[in-house]
């Protein structure tokens, strides 16, 4: 189960009535933040999400509306006496920006790990009550896998997907059939092979087939390039920028390397996602809802983000 | 005449109900910004002050609640296609911080001048429709003089005073007595010496005595050190931090190098200012008004800043 909270839904500039696009995804009480424009920590206070559980921060690109909230947020996290590491992920060149940001926030009481660029999935698991980076996926445990895709924006920009795998089902009938003592069941489910009375029990004996997990994908800011369709394939939730609702603004979307609602919806359709939520609305668009039909004509299960929107996605 | 607008009144962290301490002082349509914490540009939008007229930005110190709004504000000013120089003033070490901030805001379309530390008054005058740095004061013109004082905080911190001089009165009766043609009057008032019909007219012939101008002083963040009393002397308006209203929080004020309401009011009294406005309230203080009596017992003409408060001060 993943809990999603939209902290803001705006693009370009922070506005009094709309925080900048940013979202939190929580897993068993620990949190991943996607993007952090100016005012993100204010939205966290407004929606009472807290900031103490954030272990990972994914930055799509180094434009201010996705980044300028970092000094304040890191500083506030430091003032809360956090000591656990925070992992920050961003596109190529991100480390250089982070060097400057960390200069502005001296004496942080927690270590910061910076991961730059995409290059293969990053795996995290809940260990010691926080999300810790792992060398490889362990299908018997709950892993959060972060994948990235290079997007087509006016600067290096990464799309993200987050996948929570589903552990194989424990087949009680098999365990009983093999007469395995109950005190071994949990260990087998966790992937341990058990030796008992000259016999060896491997997890596969009692575990079911692979089950699909929860995939959430997050694409902003970009033109709707083809690679996105494969990247978001079969997401339970596809969160996509919709800078412009009006089809008549397509030329602005092209010029500024963004998308219209219709373009985002077409990606959702082709990517066979279950649900699309549009976000990152241009400040020029007062009422995004006036244009939602442009998205729904291509992809019916479309809705619009708003500041504070929360939802839970189960398996 | 100076117009003052408080953009925020909080200290420490930006809150949903209180922007960080920051204020705009406008003179004939051009503006000086004092401090710029995260969200300052949002407050500017909320109170519809605009940001296009800002020529000078004075930063008290490089703590986040006074500084982290700069990348976003400069970026937004850049997006408004400004090309005129912006002067930024800050304490010793400020330039190093500005280098990092300017890295985060590449390709600004306007030049930035950074002035570090105090060291003597800085003089600005309205020329070419903006506030331009001047080598020296011209008493015949309207000069804005910015003075600084080193404060006692946990990092290098500057207090500021802003003085608008008052031009000498033009004495019509004198001009008539000396039979000076009317078309010379304006030039004489502007300090020009006129030669006409073998006679020389100097401005002093027709101008009155020196008149006191408008002085506004701004002190945050600091303990109430003695130098402040002279520095703020005879201000028409003294804007001072009042991080803690409750006298019982004096130990916090001492520990964190801030002031209580009572301490700020005592400075106002000793500095013989006309009016005190307290600002920079700790996030722990929900209702600063509960404590205003602690200030008024020392200095009756005390009021509390609130986000959006505006006032005009004439000669």
Which CATH number goes with the domain that contains A222? 3.60.15.10
> A143 has which bridge partners?
A125
| Alpha helix positions (H), A146-291 | 172-177, 185-189, 227-231, 250-255, 261-270
Interface predicted TM-score (ipTM): 0.93
What chain B residue is nearest to A100 in terms of C-alpha separation? B100
Assess whether B37 and B134 both reside in one domain: yes
Domain boundary among B208, B238, B259: B208
Residue B271: closest CA among B297, B307, B299, B291 = B299
Q: Are residues A125 and A203 in the same domain?
A: no
d(CA B190, CA B194): 11
With residue A70 as reference, give the H or E element that holds it.
Answer: helix A70-79
What is the C-alpha to C-alpha distance for residues B145 and B137, in angstroms, rounded to an integer?
8
Q: How far is B302 from chain A (nearest CA, A)?
A: 29
User: What is the reported pLDDT for A197?
Assistant: 84
Residues of B in contact with A41 (CB under 8 A): 13-14, 38
Per-residue confidence (pLDDT) for residue B120, from 0 to 100 = 79
Q: Which two tokens stand for residue A34?
A: 């996607």
Is residue B315 a part of any domain in this protein?
no
| Residue B224, domain member (yes or no) | yes
In a shared domain, residues B119 and B139:
yes
Would you say residue B210 has pLDDT above 90? no
If asked whether residues A132 and A202 sit together in one domain, one would say no
Chain A: closest CA distance from residue B167 (Å):
40
Statement to judge: residues B202 and B220 lie in one domain: no
C-alpha distances out from residue B23 to B17, B40, B118, Å: 17, 9, 20
CB burial of B209-234 (b: ≥16 within 10 Å; e: otherwise) equals eeeebbbbbbbbbbbbbeebbebbee
Q: Report the range out of A179-183, B137-141, B213-217 with the highest average pLDDT.
A: B213-217
Does B65 participate in catalysis according to the annotation? yes
Tokens of B146: 């910015």
Beta-strand ranges (E) seen in A35-179 are 54-58, 86-90, 112-116, 122-127, 130-134, 143-150, 158-166
How far is the C-alpha of A22 from the C-alpha of A35, rounded, in Å?
Answer: 5
Catalytic residues of A, which ones? 65
What is the pLDDT at residue B226? Answer: 87
**Could you tell me the CA-to-CA distances from B97 to A22, A286, B104 in Å, in that order?**
26, 36, 11
Which of A19, A39, A74, A108 has the highest number of chain B CBs within 10 A, making it the mutation to test binding with B? A39
Query: Do both A130 and A147 map to the same domain?
Result: yes
- Of B185, B208, B231, which one is at a domain's C-terminal end? B208
Measure CB to CB from residue B68 to each of A13, A14, A71 and give the nearest one. Answer: A71
- Residue B223: φ, ψ to 5°: -75, 160
- What are the DSSP calls for A163-176, one per residue? EEEEPPPB-HHHHH
- Report whether pLDDT(B261) > 80: yes
One domain for residues B201 and B269: no
CA–CA gap between residue A110 and residue A78 (Å, rounded): 7
Q: Return the closest-CA partner of residue B273 out of B308, B237, B245, B298.
A: B237
Contact B264, B240 (CB under 8 A): yes
Split at pLDDT 50, 70, 90, the class of B197 is: confident
List helix spans (H) across chain B.
40-46, 64-67, 70-79, 94-104, 172-177, 185-189, 227-231, 250-256, 261-270, 292-296
The number of C-alpha atoms within 13 Å of A160 and in the hemisphere containing its C-beta is 26
| Of A216, A229, A259, A220, residue with least CA distance to A24 | A216
Partners of B145 in beta bridges: B123, B163
**Cα distance between the two ends of chain B:** 6
Residues B47 and B179 in one domain: no
Q: Is residue B42 part of a domain?
A: yes
Strands of B122-127's sheet, edge to edge? B130-134, B122-127, B143-150, B158-166, B211-219, B237-241, B276-279, B302-304
Which residues of B touch chain A, with CB atoms under 8 Å apart?
A: 13-16, 38-39, 41-42, 45-46, 62, 64, 67-69, 71-72, 75-76, 79, 96-97, 100-101, 103-105
**Residue B99 and residue B199 in one domain:** no
Q: Is residue B303 part of a domain?
A: yes
Distance separating alpha carbons of residues A144 and B297, to the nearest angstrom:
60
Query: What residues of B are in contact with residue A14 (Cβ under 8 Å)?
Result: 39, 41-42, 72
What is the percentage of chain A residues whose pLDDT exceeds 90? 94
Verify whether the Cβ–Cβ distance A38 to B69 is below 8 Å: yes
Percent of chain B's residues with pLDDT above 70: 100
Per-residue tokens: B274: 């006309």
Q: Work out the minimum CA distance from A261 to partner chain B, whole angstroms.
A: 24
pLDDT 10s digits, A105-151: 999 999 999 999 877 799 999 998 999 999 999 999 999 999 999 99
Find tokens 């929900």 and name the residue.
B286
Tens of pLDDT, residue by residue over A241-259, are 999 999 999 999 999 999 9
B134 domain-assigned: yes
- pLDDT tens figures, B12-55: 999 999 999 999 999 999 999 999 999 999 999 999 999 999 99
Nearest chain B alpha carbon to A75: B64
User: CA–CA separation, A57 vs A34, rounded Å?
Assistant: 6
pLDDT at B236: 98
Number of domains in chain B: 2
Catalytically annotated residue among B3, B35, B55, B65 = B65
pLDDT tens track for A27-80: 999 999 999 999 999 999 999 999 999 999 999 999 999 999 999 999 999 999
Distance between CA A244 and CA A286 in Å, rounded? 11
Mean pLDDT of B309-313: 97
Q: How far apart are CA B149 and CA B136, in angstroms?
A: 20
pLDDT for position B163:
97
The fraction of chain B above a pLDDT of 90, given in percent, is 94
Q: Are residues A174 and A223 both part of a single domain?
A: no
Report yes or no on B229 lying in a domain: yes
In angstroms, the separation between the Cα of residue B160 and the nearest Cα of chain A is 23
Q: Are A124 and A85 in contact (CB under 8 A)?
A: no
**Cβ neighbours, 10 Å, residue A179:** 8
Contact A10, A310 (CB under 8 A): no
Distances (CA, A) of B197 to B130, B186, B194, B203, B207: 37, 18, 10, 17, 21
Closest among B95, B142, B91 to B114, alpha carbons compared = B95
Domain of B119, in residue numbers: 2-168+209-310
Task: Check A104 against B103: CB less than 8 A apart.
Answer: no
* pLDDT reported for residue A117: 81
**B114 vs B215: CA distance, rounded Å:** 24
User: Residue A199 pLDDT more than 90?
Assistant: no
Residue B250 within a domain? yes
* A199 lies in the same domain as A271: no
- How many interface pairs between A and B have CB atoms less than 8 angstroms apart? 83
The b/e string for A185-217 (b: 16+ C-beta within 10 A; e otherwise) is beebbebeebeeeeeebebebbbeeeeebbbbb
Whether A198 has a pLDDT exceeding 90, the answer reads no
Residues B6 and B51 in one domain: yes
Closest CA to A67 of A104, A30, A22: A22
Q: In chain A, whose CA is at the least distance from the CA of B80?
A: A13
- How far away is chain A from the Cα of B106, in angstroms, using its nearest Cα? 10
Chain B residues touching residue A46 (CB < 8 angstroms): 16
pTM, full prediction:
0.95
Contact between residue A34 and residue A22 where contact means Cβ atoms under 8 Å apart: yes
pLDDT of residue A210: 87
Residue B160: per-residue pLDDT = 98
Last residue of a domain, one of B184, B208, B232: B208
């Amino acid at each position: 189960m993943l809990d999603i909270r939209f902290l803001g839904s705006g693009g370009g500039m922070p506005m009094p009535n709309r925080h900048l696009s940013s979202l939190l995804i929580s897993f068993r009480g620990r949190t991943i933040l996607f993007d952090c424009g100016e005012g993100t920590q204010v939205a966290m206070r407004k929606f009472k999400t807290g900031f103490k559980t954030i272990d990972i921060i994914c930055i799509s690109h180094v434009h201010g509306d996705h980044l300028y909230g970092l000094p304040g947020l890191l500083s506030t996290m430091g003032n809360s006496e956090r000591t656990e590491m925070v992992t920050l992920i961003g596109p190529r060149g991100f480390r250089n920006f982070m060097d400057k940001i960390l200069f502005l926030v001296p004496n942080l009481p927690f270590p910061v790990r910076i991961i730059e660029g995409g290059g293969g999935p990053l795996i995290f698991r809940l260990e010691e009550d926080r999300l810790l980076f792992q060398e490889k996926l362990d299908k018997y445990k709950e892993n959060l896998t972060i994948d990235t895709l290079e997007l087509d924006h006016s600067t290096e920009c990464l799309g993200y997907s987050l996948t929570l795998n589903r552990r194989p089902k424990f087949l009680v009938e098999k365990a009983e059939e093999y007469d395995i003592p109950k005190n071994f069941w949990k260990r087998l489910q966790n992937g341990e092979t058990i030796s008992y009375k000259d016999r060896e029990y491997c997890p596969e004996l009692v575990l079911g087939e692979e089950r699909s997990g929860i995939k959430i994908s997050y694409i902003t800011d970009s033109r709707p390039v083809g690679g996105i369709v494969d990247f978001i394939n079969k997401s339970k939730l596809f969160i996509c920028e919709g800078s412009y609702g009006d089809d008549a603004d397509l030329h602005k979307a092209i010029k500024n390397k963004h998308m219209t609602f219709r373009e985002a919806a077409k990606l959702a359709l082709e990517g066979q996602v279950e649900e699309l939520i549009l976000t990152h609305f241009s400040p020029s668009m007062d009422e995004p809802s006036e244009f939602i039909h442009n998205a729904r004509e291509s992809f019916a299960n479309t809705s619009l983000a708003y500041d504070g929107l929360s939802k839970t996605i189960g398996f």
